[in-house]
Amino acid sequence: MLMDHMGYKNYRDINNFLDKLVSNKHVNEERDGKISWFRSTGQGNVWLNAKKEGTVSSSEQQQAAGDNISILIDRFCSNWCGRIPLQEEYTKFPHSFLKARVPWLTSDEFYLFGCNRQGKHAVFPGSSHPLNGWNTTSAGRTARNRYLSEDLEELLSQEV
């Protein structure tokens, strides 16, 4: 990302830039395996990803939405029916969390373990099994289409 945005030609320039940001205490470095995350110490809390291989996957770019996810977790965690608390799951498994839990956090029409983020319970139509997934009504289809058509950052910012 820095190569594109700042015009750097190699990783030495990027590493020097990131070292300068860390030494001036503009960002704090956090490690997640091979990936280094640099969190801004300012009010914006911007995430920059510096991966040695030079590729940034879409799930890693979505980490910029981390603050909005934390706000939504705080807001709706009391209605969570899963075994692992949302904040713990997000901290330990951030990549799979984005795929599996963000629809529940951003839509009243998405159910996991038979419960949505507002605490309403539903069963799969015609059975006694709890509903897992989008509500089968037209409101559920509309919410699903909205979720699939919008960027994750945009979707999370609208919900916060």
**DSSP H/E element including 36:** strand 35-40
**Interatomic CA distance for residues 103 and 78, integer angstroms:** 17
Residue 45 pLDDT level (bands cut at 50, 70, 90): very low
Q: What's the alpha-carbon Rg for the chain, to the nearest Å? A: 19
Q: Answer positive or negative: Cα dihedral of 144, 148, 149, 153.
A: positive
DSSP three-state, residue 121: strand
Predicted confidence (pLDDT) at residue 150 exceeds the cutoff of 50: yes
Q: How far is CA 10 from CA 16, 112, 119, 136, in A?
A: 10, 45, 50, 50
The residue ranges of every structural domain in the chain are 2-56, 65-159
Give per-residue pLDDT as tens, 52-108. 444 444 444 444 455 788 888 888 888 888 888 888 888 888 888 888 888 999 999
- Between 7 and 53, name the one with better pLDDT: 7
